[in-house]
Chain A
């Protein structure tokens, strides 16, 4: 049993090491399509110049095997663990951390991790509670899905939370999202994905906003009330005129995704997490025998 467990741990570590670098280099097809579509409909001169450069940059990254963006971010992983997957989450975390370190040293990638007070580097994109891993546990399943979302600081710095009250209603949610994106201006590298988390609690709303930015572009929430709000905000956000890199234009966001949770009758939390245009994500499916299947589009 231990030999099998060791092999699976190694398989997860190897997969994580590949996943981090791959996510940084090879952006998903839905994002490529969204950027080209944005390039086609932008009418402002500086905005069009920005989008032309972005599309060219993606091509250069492909041709040269280079990173799309220099900000290797903080490595954020989302794990869906089947109840019969033969590696305990403690060991999965160890493997993800070891994989992150290997990717950073072997490529090499810029290491961004610092102690939050001393600001001294804590390791090859690892440290205390880094990387960040979110967990979901799945009944009656023996697999493991890992999604890696390297999150750059320029867009992560543009995160906002407001504890609206019930009397603010959905209107309060809309106003807060719109104001946040106008205030952020060019700083989070627009046009990107606006992730919104509503309901739950303060911490959970922010987590949901992060989950929302990691969805394939333009996918809609399963709840029709929420999906309708996604469509409305997407349209309104593109009327603000902030434009590519905040230089003015028609395309301010590639889309708006919302995740929600039921909440307390006196709560109405709304969280915004911005994802820059370099919306990097990559996934791997690991079988109970250690087999791996990489998936750029999940």
Chain B
């Protein structure tokens, strides 16, 4: 089992094809946070996502965040922060509100960012790859077997993160660069800049291999043996 470092978004498919189920991966660059309601809006309600997802790494998350420059909550920590104004978008080079109204001008900082169960969102795998060119989906708990074929056909991988290890994950997120569809809080579309994000395990590769399939097959067989012993 090899160890890789991959920077997202990727432009060369070879970056995905070199990964094999079971390999360890550390991710650099930019990743996109997405969740149930975000994908329901894109695919069931037909709303175009206001971020480019080509070559992207998607993370199944609904982060705990703190809005900068906001004074709607108490607490010593908040008292300190509410005095600091929001960073003007023209100073950061980020889109201003009227450039793309779906992208918020509000600024957020991470409080605790972790990962949710992927299996609920498996039906979006094929359209994410086929329509938007997404290359990697990362979550916890794995995808069922229906994800294997589209991932192989479209050159995509599923990365397993350690569910619940949010304190560590938060330290690997350098900045929340953009938030779109703020009204879905916390199930918005998030753009994070990450450093040494991981370690991740390739759960499903682009060659038709799935650790989850293998583990389930072996466990189902084992159950027969255990039942016979009861």
B164: contacting residue among A189, A242, A247, A248, CB under 8 A: A189
Contact A182 B220 (CB under 8 A): yes
A278 touching B164, Cβ below 8 Å? yes
Q: Is B29 an interface residue (CB 8 A)?
A: no
Interface 9-mer from A173-181, A196-204, A260-268: A173-181
Chain B minimum-CB-distance residue to A104: B73
The 8 A CB mask of B52-71 against A (1 = contact, 0 = none) is 00000000011110100000
- List CB contacts (< 8 Å) of B149-172 with chain A: 160, 162-171
A50 to chain B, nearest CB (A): 5
B164, A66: Cβ atoms under 8 Å? Answer: no
> Which of A75-83, A85-93, A105-113, A212-220 is the contact stretch?
A105-113
Please give the distance in Å from B160's CB to the nearest CB on chain A. Answer: 6
How far is the CB of A72 from the nearest CB of chain B, in Å? 7
Inter-chain CA distance A50–B140, complex, in Å, is 11
**Docked-complex contact B113 and A70, CB < 8 angstroms:** yes
The answer on a CB contact under 8 Å between A186 and B141 is: yes
- Find chain A residues with CB under 8 A from B171 CB: 60, 64
B49 interface hit (Cβ, 8 Å): no
Q: How far is the CB of B71 from chain A (nearest CB, A)?
A: 12
A243 beta carbon closer than 8 Å to chain B: yes
Classify the secondary structure of B's interface with A: mixed
Chain B nearest CB: distance from A198 CB in Å? 16
A154 to B201 alpha-carbon distance, docked (Å): 19
| A45 and B1 in contact, given A108-B111, A241-B219 (Cβ under 8 angstroms) | yes
Interface size on A, residues (CB 8 A): 54
- Chain B nearest CB: distance from A222 CB in Å? 24
A158 CB → nearest B CB, Å: 9
Contact A242 B215 (CB under 8 A): yes
- How far is B62's CA from A248's CA once the two chains are assembled, in angstroms? 27
In the complex, per-residue mask of A91-118: 1 if CB is within 8 Å of any chain B CB, else 0: 0000000000000011111100000000
- B215 & A185 in contact (Cβ 8 Å cutoff): yes
Partner of A240, one of B1, B74, B111, B222: B222
B119 within 8 A of A: yes
At the interface with chain B, which of A3-11, A51-59, A135-143, A287-295? Answer: A51-59
CA gap between A178 and B227 in the complex, in Å: 9
Q: Is the CB of B75 within 8 A of A68?
A: no
Give A residues with C-beta under 8 Å from B: 45-46, 49-50, 53-54, 56-58, 60-61, 64, 66-72, 105-110, 119, 152-154, 157, 171, 174-175, 178-179, 182, 185-189, 236, 239-243, 245-248, 276-278
Pick 15 A–B contacts, CB within 8 A, sort by A.
Answer: A54-B164, A57-B168, A66-B166, A67-B64, A67-B112, A67-B166, A70-B115, A107-B75, A154-B141, A179-B223, A182-B216, A186-B215, A187-B119, A240-B219, A245-B141
17 extra interface residue pairs, beta carbon distance < 8 Å, beyond A108-B111, A189-B141, A241-B222: A46-B1, A50-B162, A60-B168, A69-B164, A71-B116, A107-B111, A108-B78, A110-B63, A110-B186, A186-B142, A186-B163, A186-B212, A187-B141, A236-B226, A241-B218, A246-B142, A247-B160
